[in-house]
């Protein structure tokens, strides 16, 4: 017998009960697994004095348990219907609503030692992680549900097939910890992919050895622009072969073989040559 392709969603599913049809364009897969919700809140371990912001509260699966521990809780939501629903359900004293796009949100406006959390819309998770990295100085920690494949890229090491720009740039700025694997059935509607929860903690300044993060970003982007090509080709516009040799970088190696420290060495050399980022 052929497997059933379109199983009708239970009329009792939380989004149906809330009268909200999930919107694909906003990556709406609502968490319904109480065990996972509890595990995420425990991992965050919010304290009453913490400033916590949740990205994409949706129907409130994480919002409500977070609100029980922190007041007010900040949330950023793009979907007007969900904003209206949250406004109706919760007082301003308990929930501070920021209506709009998290990709454009000024996380610095919420003050220092910010704690960020969310079951992120998967369609924008990579640009969102890069946007948040720009506020790392003001952030204490972040806990996110992401597509498992993205978490694999975040924590990948040199030589892994998943190692790339996301791995190097996030590992430069944060300590990363893969916390929980989450199956599709934990969501309504279930996504087509596996998910995972990850923790990011900004590294202290003393551990950031790149004199200019812009140069690091420039070198990493160029090196991974064509990941199968040798560095002598991908870095041609930035370094001469003589410079790469002087930096003890084999001309035939590829970006996926370089450690974070080597990328930092290249970035600092670029800065010293152009006289910037000192």
Touching ligand SAM, residues 25-64 (CB under 6 A)? 26-31, 55-59, 61-62
Candidate list 66, 70, 97, 119; residue touching ligand SAM; CB under 6 A: 119
How far apart are CB 187 and ligand SAM at their closest, in Å? 7
Whole-angstrom distance, CA of residue 55 vs CA of residue 76: 5
- Residue 123 or residue 226: which is nearer to ligand SAM going by CB? 123
In the bound state, the residue with its beta carbon closest to ligand SAM is: 56
Minimum CB–partner distance for residue 28 and ligand SAM (Å):
5
- Token pair belonging to 89: 């359900």
Instruction: Compute the radius of gyration of the chain from its Cα atoms.
Output: 21
Taking CB under 6 A as the rule, does residue 171 contact ligand SAM?
no
Minimum CB distance to ligand SAM, residue 52 (Å)? 13
The single residue listed with the structure tokens 């000024």 is 106
- Total interface residues for ligand SAM by CB under 6 A: 24
41: CB partners within 8 A, 6+ apart:
62, 65, 66, 69
β partners of residue 99: 77
What is the closest distance, in whole angstroms, from the C-beta atom of residue 64 to ligand SAM in the complex? 10
Nearest-angstrom CA–CA distance, 116 and 202: 12
43 — phi, psi (to 5°)? -65, -40
CB of 112 to ligand SAM, least distance (A): 22
Distance of alpha carbon 196 from alpha carbon 181, whole angstroms: 4
Whole-angstrom CA distances from 270 to 32, 90, 218, 235, 254 are 49, 52, 10, 11, 18
- Of 22-30, 45-53, 152-160, 252-260, the window that binds ligand SAM (rule: CB under 6 A) is 22-30
Closer residue to ligand SAM in complex, CB, 99/243: 99
Asked if 156 interacts with ligand SAM (CB under 6 A), we say no
Binding site for ligand SAM (CB under 6 A): 26-31, 55-59, 61-62, 76-79, 82, 101-103, 119, 121, 124
């Amino acid at each position: 017998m052929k497997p059933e392709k379109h199983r009708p969603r239970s009329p009792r599913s939380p989004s149906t009960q809330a009268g909200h049809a999930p919107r694909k364009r906003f990556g709406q897969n609502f968490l319904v697994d109480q065990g996972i919700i509890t595990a995420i809140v425990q991992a965050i371990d919010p304290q009453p004095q913490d400033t916590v912001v949740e990205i994409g509260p949706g129907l409130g699966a994480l919002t409500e348990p977070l609100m029980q521990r922190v007041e007010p809780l900040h949330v950023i939501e793009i979907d007007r219907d969900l904003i209206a629903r949250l406004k109706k359900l919760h007082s301003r004293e308990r929930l501070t609503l920021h209506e709009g796009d998290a990709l454009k949100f000024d996380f610095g406006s919420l003050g220092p030692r910010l704690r960020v959390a969310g079951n992120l819309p998967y369609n924008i998770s990579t640009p969102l992680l890069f946007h948040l990295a720009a506020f790392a100085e003001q952030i204490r920690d972040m806990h996110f549900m992401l597509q498992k494949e993205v978490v694999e890229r975040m924590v990948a090491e040199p030589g892994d097939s998943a190692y790339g720009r996301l791995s190097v740039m996030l590992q430069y700025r944060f300590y990363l910890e893969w916390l929980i694997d989450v199956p599709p059935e934990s969501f309504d509607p279930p996504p087509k992919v596996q998910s995972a929860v990850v923790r990011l903690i900004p590294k202290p300044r003393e551990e950031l050895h790149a004199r200019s993060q812009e140069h690091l970003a420039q070198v990493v982007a160029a090196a991974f622009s064509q990941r199968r090509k040798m560095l002598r080709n991908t870095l041609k516009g930035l370094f001469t072969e003589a410079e790469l040799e002087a930096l003890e970088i084999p001309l035939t190696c590829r970006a996926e073989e370089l450690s974070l420290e080597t990328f930092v060495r290249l970035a600092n050399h670029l800065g010293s040559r152009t006289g910037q980022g000192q």
